[in-house]
Amino acid sequence: MDAFVRILRLGGKELRSLWRDPVMLVLVLWSFSAAVYVAATAQPDTLARASLAIVDEDQSPLSLRLRAAFAPPQFAPPPLLPASAIDPTLDAGRQTFVLVIPAGFQRRLLAGRRPALQLNVDATRVGQAFTGSAYIAQIVDTEVAGFVLGVRREARPAVELALRTRFNPELSHRWFGGVMELANNVTMLAVVLAGAALIREREHGTVEHLLAMPVTPAEILLAKVVASSLVVLAATLLSLAFIVRGALGIPLAGSAALFLGGTALHLFATTSLGVLMATVARSMPQFGLLVVLVLLPLQMLSGANTPRESIPGGVREAMLLAPTTHYVELAQAVLFRGAGLDLVWRPLLASALIGAALFALALLRFSRGIGDDGRI
């Protein structure tokens, strides 16, 4: 009980120290509010209001039908351009696509010939260029076939594919992007807050004062882990309520309590990782560089940005030792698919084991770093 009281008091000291650090407070506020919202809405992977202009030299019912087919949300309403404006428009970056419908297009099509359309693409806009070209080709094929057949659909195929989209029926990127950005920021803030707290103690010379008190190294580290975890856990809860569900309107299928419980285990692992990194770095600049080197691979290879099946086999297996891999699996299973404890107990167990190993290693390095005179 005495050790528990000492940990609580040391944790209170950590919280007061964080409260007096405006830079860290702004970082926490930004990471769980604007950063989540921007990641969900700024650059969607799907085509959204792509800029397309049309050069209509045919002025036929078919060309009017094609012009009307390009509409939001995939494309912005397309303006009409003269042929002489194609190159200046693309050179100035005002349009990503320019579709040219030549004169006599409808007449040659109905005569049984195969007329060609010209699509000019600004390929410097890589994200939209490749996706948009496929969209435009599909729309043109559908509209031309519908015009020739006299209906707005293609001939009945030999096999009909019944497509049922689960968990994200609108195929909205913001559903995935917002939650995964929240998961990434949980990891980042946990590492930064815990590690920076220990580095700050060392730079200010207050670790020696703590060691002069009747507290053990384990109690010092546990206080930092608990304080940082509580801050990030509270910020996560508020972000889920006001940003993910409120501002973004993302429906969360599973239990928020189960997700927060998994987040707490993940925070135990990542705050321990932050403390471990702080025992390696000797100053705040060194710690910042180490954070970049460690966090980028953890986030990029965890499955938050790309499916783990797309990662090379050796790297994929090695990432099972990283806490982020299991946290992303937990977040997607609970928040997207409504999974219960019977389906996510493995990532929960893995997070607990990885957290225990990281904390033990951090405690070992911290204890060995204490000299015979009690100094770090």
pLDDT tens digits, one per residue of 257-304: 999 999 999 999 999 999 999 989 888 889 999 999 999 888 888 888
The pLDDT of residue 151 is 45
Residue percentage of the chain with pLDDT more than 90: 41
The pLDDT of residue 376 is 46
Q: For residues 205 and 26, which has the higher predicted lDDT (pLDDT)?
A: 26
The pLDDT of residue 158 is 65
Q: Which long-range contacts (CB under 8 A, 24 or more apart) does 68-73 make?
A: 69/139, 69/140, 69/142, 69/143, 70/136, 70/139, 73/48, 73/49
The pLDDT of residue 294 is 92
pLDDT at 316 over 50: yes
**Where on the phi/psi map is residue 95: left (φ > 0), alpha (ψ -120 to 50), or beta?**
beta
* Same domain? 191 vs 281: yes
* Same domain? 62 vs 206: no
Cα separation, 5 vs 12, in Å, equals 11
The residues that bridge with 121 in the sheet, in sequence order, are: 97
pLDDT at 6 over 90: no
The pLDDT of residue 124 is 84
Residue percentage of the chain with pLDDT more than 70: 93
* Same domain? 36 vs 60: no
Answer yes or no: is 363 within a domain: yes
Averaged pLDDT for residues 129-139: 87
Q: List, in order, residues 6 or more apart from 217 with CB less than 8 Å away.
A: 211, 363, 366, 367, 370
- What would the two tokens of residue 71 be? 């509409």
Cα separation, 321 vs 323, in Å, equals 7
Cα separation, 242 vs 178, in Å, equals 12
Compute the CA torsion angle 317, 323, 324, 330 (nearest 10 deg): 100
pLDDT at 374 over 50: no
* Same domain? 86 vs 22: no
Answer yes or no: is 159 within a domain: no
* Same domain? 30 vs 119: no
* Same domain? 277 vs 128: no
The pLDDT of residue 214 is 77
- Band of residue 182 on the pLDDT scale cut at 50, 70, 90: very high
What 3-state class would DSSP assign to 98?
strand
* Same domain? 123 vs 237: no
Averaged pLDDT for residues 161-168: 78
* Same domain? 177 vs 139: no
The pLDDT of residue 372 is 40
* Same domain? 204 vs 274: yes
Q: List, in order, residues 6 or more apart from 244 with CB less than 8 Å away.
A: 36, 178, 179, 182, 250, 252
* Same domain? 76 vs 29: no
Decide: 197 and 281 in contact? Cβ < 8 Å. no
Residue type, 125: R
* Same domain? 27 vs 60: no
Answer yes or no: is 213 within a domain: yes
Compute the CA torsion angle 76, 82, 84, 86 (nearest 10 deg): 10
pLDDT at 208 over 80: no
* Same domain? 229 vs 256: yes
- Band of residue 43 on the pLDDT scale cut at 50, 70, 90: low
The per-residue pLDDT for range 332-347, each reduced to its tens digit, is 999 988 889 999 999 9
Backbone φ and ψ of 163, nearest 5°: -100, 125
- What would the two tokens of residue 94 be? 């005002």
Q: Average pLDDT over the chain, rounded to whole?
A: 86
Domain range for 134 is 52-149
Handedness of CA 231, 234, 238, 239 (dihedral sign): positive
pLDDT at 50 over 80: yes
Query: For the chain, how many structural domains are there in total?
Result: 2
